[in-house]
Amino acid sequence: MKIVKLGTREYAPVFEEMKAFNANRTANTEDELWVVEHPAVFTQGLAGKPEHLLASSDIPVVQIDRGGQITYHGLGQLVVYTLIDFKRRKTSVRHIVSALENAIIATLAQYNIQSTNDPNRPGVYVGERKIASLGLRIKNGSVYHGLALNVNMDLEPFHQINPCGYAGLEMTQIADYVQPAPSLDEVADKLTAHLMRELVFQAA
């Protein structure tokens, strides 16, 4: 599995590149993890309901093809796109979701942040507050989109939406528990290492 660091990139072009990667991959295409940070954007999933956008602002709303409702991406949030051929790995999307959640939980544990997943709601939580979101798309036997982990960002835009469709859901981030907050690059290195370990057992 290859790790690709994209730096800070606008959301829409990366979304198009993900779709193209998935459409053009072959049986021999290596799986990739894309590590990226996006400027402020709301993304609305396939099942997204307009009423979950609670207030208008200058933050753009992009309609996309992953599952789920609306979420927010912004500077200081670590995004990892998981471009995985799950048929070749002889696994299931549920196992991939569990691997992503487990990798996030292990990463947070390195910062002494106790977190859990929720079988009824994808993502990772610290108490009742959500610290990481997941959203995947399955097409041509492969998975794309991925996870977003809040590191050190402005959380206010989450109040403009019902995050992931849940009214009143409060968000949190690593910086709420660790000072000084770690850099995005530091967290990315820890998280991708855990992702590589969590996903390797699923390889064919």
- 28: Cβ–Cβ under 8 A, 6 or more apart, which residues? none
Would you call 164 a catalytic residue per the annotation?
yes
- CB–CB of 163/84 below 8 Å? no
Tracing tokens 């106790």 back to the chain, one arrives at 114
Report long-range pairs for 52-58 (Cβ below 8 Å, ≥24 apart). 52/161, 52/162, 52/165, 53/160, 53/161, 54/159, 54/160, 54/161, 54/162, 55/160, 57/157, 57/160
Q: 64, 78, 164, 191: which one is catalytic? A: 164
Q: Which residues are catalytic?
A: 164
